[in-house]
Amino acid sequence: MHYGPNARRDFLKTAGGGAVCGLLLDGVLGKLAPVSAAESSLPAGSVRLEPGIEPLVRLLEETPRSRVIEEVASRVSAGRVGYQEVLAALLLAGVRNIQPRPSVGFKFHAVLVVNSAHLASQASPDADRWLPIFWAIDNFKSSQARDVNEGDWTMEAVDEPAVPDTHLAVNRFRQAMTDWDESAADVATAALARGRSATEIFDAYADFAARDFRSIGHKVIYLSNAYRTLESIGWQYSEPVLRSLTYAMLNHSGEPNPATSDLDADRDGRVNRERMTEIRDKWLDGQDDSAATAEMITALRTVSSDEASRMVVEQLNRGTSFRSVFDALFSAAAELTMRQPAIVPLHAMTTTNAIHYAFRTCGNDATRRYLMLQNASFIARFREAAKGRGDLADLRIDTLEAAPDWSPDSSVEEIFKQLGQDPGRAAAQLLAYLGGGQSASQAMHHARRLIFLKGTDSHDYKYSSAVLEDYHQLTPAWRDRYLAASLYKMRNESERTTPLVGRIREAIGA
């Protein structure tokens, strides 16, 4: 692929740093001092964005972190730029400036979190709607600074002469991804973006996004989040986003070519390509079976990644519904966060969210089977990875009991106060609250609001957005336990409100 490590640094030398803000002359983003032609050009070979969004992206890129919230807020408050434009610029600034290597994580969370912030914003009351987006802008500036320190990578323009004809794009892309060929995949991606449908594109990516366990699920997380954000901002912005996604999915830093090697991260994927053919033809017509879900949850505490996917095949062939299979996968991931409320179990949750979204969105039957099997294998791998980080507490989601002394007159706020003192009791209180017929929406709104006020990390947004979405994906037999178990990794009332909240509110006049 064609990406330049020093383009941003070279540009700053050329443009004299802050002078680039003078690019915003179009009347949409405000009137600033004019600049010379030399100052208004991007570094040679850099990817160019849509003319309508480029100035706002440049504002995010070049404004110092100490002023960027205020600069964007002033334009929002004046009605010169809207929510959708800010969301688009935030995603595009991330994909142009932040390299998804050596891992599709760490600093790259500034890109991965954009859709999570958007989901949080959509579900928020008007008074809080801008908080997640402005938090994400500040987070982008932090990641951008880290990227500069690690080499100052910038996405380069496509190798135009090598871009294949549109009718060849899907086959060329699939072959390049199979071969782990970055250059061929990059130009095939450009052809996909320019001429194939969003559905075709998603199906092609879904076949590869969860094929390996590198970067603990971030590849499929990126696919689902990128696609969903593009659905919101418009597919006219898809080419740089998809090129970044391709580059991320082909990441195997420090290893030989996986296409010609037998590496541990790829083995489940290869086995499950064959195993998915063992699933019965009418697997979509199974019956929901809570007992089968419980049986799978129990097994997922001990089985290997190979045994986990084999178990899914057996359950589907016995007539268990795919919904009950996903109940087990969601619940096993949530149980891991009970047993170790830390970074690895958190990613079991966000990865299962992403795979389930891909499963629901993909139109290819074989890929949907494959995604389910890979999800099961991933749960077992997450469990073992968590063990490598510390002990797993002896807690069980299927034996979680509702607090017997919970009063219907008690408030949701009391649960989240208790969370800071005793997460187990808070989970039991939430289970009693939900079992008493109280609306889950109120609890979820409060959990989300605490993320806005107390959250300090991309994972706060990724995790909470996944949990609060997936509650509705589980069957009624398991969803309340799932939400109660997930509480262990949520924010609580006793934590301090982050200073950034006050800064954002002052900037937007809230």
- Kindly state the percentage of the chain with pLDDT values over 90: 87
* Among the listed residues 236, 235, 207, 230, the one whose alpha carbon sits nearest the alpha carbon of residue 219: 207
Residue 510 pLDDT grade (very low, low, confident, very high; cuts 50, 70, 90): low
Concatenating the DSSP letter of every residue in 351-388 gives HHHHHHHHHHH---HHHHHHHHHHHHHHHHHHHHHHHT
pTM of the model: 0.91
What per-residue confidence (pLDDT) applies to 504? 94
**Mean pLDDT, residues 305-324 taken together:** 98
pLDDT of 43 reads: 60
- Whether the Cβ atoms of residue 431 and residue 438 lie closer than 8 Å to each other: no
Instruction: Write the CA distances from 130 to 54, 60, 319, 404, 459, integer angstroms.
Output: 21, 16, 46, 39, 18
Q: Which pLDDT score is estimated for 348?
A: 98
Q: Taking residues 473-502, what's their average pLDDT?
A: 96
* Structure-block tokens of residue 17: 């740093």
Residue-level pLDDT at 390: 96
Mean pLDDT of 341-355: 98
| CA pair distance 263, 89, nearest whole angstrom | 38
Determine the pLDDT at residue 312: 98
Average pLDDT over residues 310-326: 98
Determine contact, residues 98/110, Cβ cutoff 8 Å. yes
pLDDT above 80 for 10: no
Mean pLDDT value of segment 41-48: 68
| Cα–Cα distance, 58 to 92 (Å, whole number) | 10
Q: With a cut of 70, say whether residue 8 has pLDDT above it.
A: no
The residue with greater pLDDT, 30 or 434, is: 434
105 with 220: CB under 8 angstroms? no
What are the tens digits of pLDDT across the range 160-193? 999 999 999 999 999 999 999 999 999 999 999 9
Average pLDDT of span 8-14: 36
- The conformation of residue 312, written as its DSSP 8-state character, comes to H
Q: What is the DSSP letter of 46?
A: B
Amino acid at 495: E
Q: Is the dihedral of CA 357, 362, 365, 367 positive or negative?
A: negative
3-state secondary structure 435-454: HCCCCHHHHHHHHHHHHHHH
pLDDT of residue 14: 32
Instruction: Indicate whether 114 pLDDT > 60.
Output: yes
Question: Is pLDDT of 68 > 90?
Answer: yes
Report which of residues 258 and 50 the model is more confident about.
Answer: 258
| For residue 466, pLDDT beyond 60 | yes
pLDDT by residue (tens digit) across 263-285? Answer: 999 999 999 999 999 999 999 99
3-state SS, residue 4: strand
Tokens of residue 436, six digits = 């008493």
Q: What's 102-159 look like in SS3? A: CCCCHHHHHHHCHHHHHHHHHCCCHHHCCHHHHHHHHHHHHHHHHHHHCCCCEEECCC
Average pLDDT, the chain: 91
4 φ, ψ to 5°?
-100, 130
Longest pairwise C-alpha distance within the chain: 72
pLDDT, tens digit (0-9, with 9 covering 90-100), for 355-390: 999 999 999 999 999 999 999 999 999 999 999 999
- Kindly indicate the confidence band of residue 25, based on its pLDDT and cuts at 50, 70 and 90: very low
| 3-state DSSP assignment of residue 320 | strand
- What's the pLDDT at 42? 59
Is the per-residue pLDDT at 311 higher than 80?
yes
Q: Is the pLDDT of residue 391 over 90?
A: yes
pLDDT band at 56 (very low <50, low <70, confident <90, very high): very high
Does residue 102 have a cis peptide bond before it, meaning omega lies within 30 degrees of 0?
yes
pLDDT attached to residue 23: 31
pLDDT tens across 245-261, in order?
A: 999 999 999 999 999 99
pLDDT > 70 fraction of the chain, expressed in percent and rounded: 91
Identify the pLDDT of residue 186: 98
